[in-house]
């Protein structure tokens, strides 16, 4: 009798665990679609990478930031590359913000006297890329996107040693090196600087 009861108990447990009357549910459309890339503005990426770079060198300052292509029209991109340097240690390192993750490259030598890689104080960076894009739109960018709506927009931030100002370059075109239109916007004041092409 004891063996009979144990056999019934074992059979009940096996049936309860192993069987299900519901068929497997197919994946919902939300589960099958890949996650949309995370985007951020230039300032958002800069300050996230700046925090990481401060752990590398205490006196770190930025000297160039550039975005990947963007079609969002809101100053955001899924990838940003920011170059930082330590003037006292004479070393530079690039940080990349991509889809919410931060990575860095290897160290490189840095010359504080090089006018094309002059560092800037982060406190000068007051205007974000969404505002720079809005200014660029009023100086010809709107016409470019009206004519070709899928045009890429790129952003480049750097110190202009000739004017002594920090500039956002809003670039419309297939890539940064072949612009259809390039507009400079002051990254401290938000004022239009010039049409560069």
Angle at 173 between CA 141 and CA 80, to 5 degrees: 95
Asked which of 19-23, 38-42, 57-61 is least confident by mean pLDDT, the reply is 19-23
Question: Model confidence at 168, in pLDDT bands (50, 70, 90)?
Answer: very high
pLDDT at 61: 97
Q: Residue 110 domain-assigned?
A: yes
Q: Residue 22 domain-assigned?
A: no
Quick one: how far is CA 21 from the chain centroid? 48
Q: Residue 52 domain-assigned?
A: yes
Q: Residue 10 domain-assigned?
A: no
Selected residue with higher pLDDT from 187 and 18: 187
Q: Residue 137 domain-assigned?
A: yes
Q: By residue range, what is the domain housing residue 95? A: 40-195
Quick one: how far is CA 96 from the chain centroid? 8
pLDDT at 196: 93
- The string of pLDDT tens digits covering residues 65-110 is 999 999 888 999 999 999 999 999 999 999 999 999 999 999 999 9
pLDDT at 34: 73
pLDDT at 13: 53
Closest CA to 95 of 113, 115, 110, 80: 80
**What does pLDDT average to over the chain?**
88
**Coil/strand/helix, residue 176:** coil
pLDDT at 183: 98
Question: Model confidence at 5, in pLDDT bands (50, 70, 90)?
Answer: very low
Question: Model confidence at 124, in pLDDT bands (50, 70, 90)?
Answer: very high
Q: Residue 174 domain-assigned?
A: yes
Number of folded domains that form the chain: 1
Q: Residue 67 domain-assigned?
A: yes
């Amino acid at each position: 009798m004891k063996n009979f009861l144990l056999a019934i108990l074992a059979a009940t447990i096996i049936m309860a665990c192993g069987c299900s009357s519901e068929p497997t549910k197919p994946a919902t459309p939300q589960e099958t679609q890949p996650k949309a890339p995370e985007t951020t503005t230039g300032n958002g990426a800069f300050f996230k990478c700046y925090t990481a770079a401060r752990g590398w060198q205490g006196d770190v300052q930025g000297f160039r930031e550039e975005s990947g292509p963007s079609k969002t029209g809101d100053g955001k991109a899924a990838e940003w590359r920011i170059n930082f340097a330590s003037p006292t240690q004479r070393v530079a390192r690039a940080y990349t913000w991509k889809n919410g993750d931060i990575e860095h490259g290897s160290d490189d030598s840095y010359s504080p006297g090089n006018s094309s890689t002059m560092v800037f104080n982060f406190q000068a960076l007051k205007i974000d890329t969404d505002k720079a894009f809005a200014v660029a739109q009023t100086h010809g960018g709107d016409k470019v996107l009206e004519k070709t709506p899928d045009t890429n927009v790129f952003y480049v931030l750097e110190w202009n040693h000739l004017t002594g100002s920090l500039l956002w370059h809003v670039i419309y075109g297939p890539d940064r090196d072949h612009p259809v239109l390039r507009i400079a916007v002051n990254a401290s004041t938000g004022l239009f600087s010039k049409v560069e092409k």
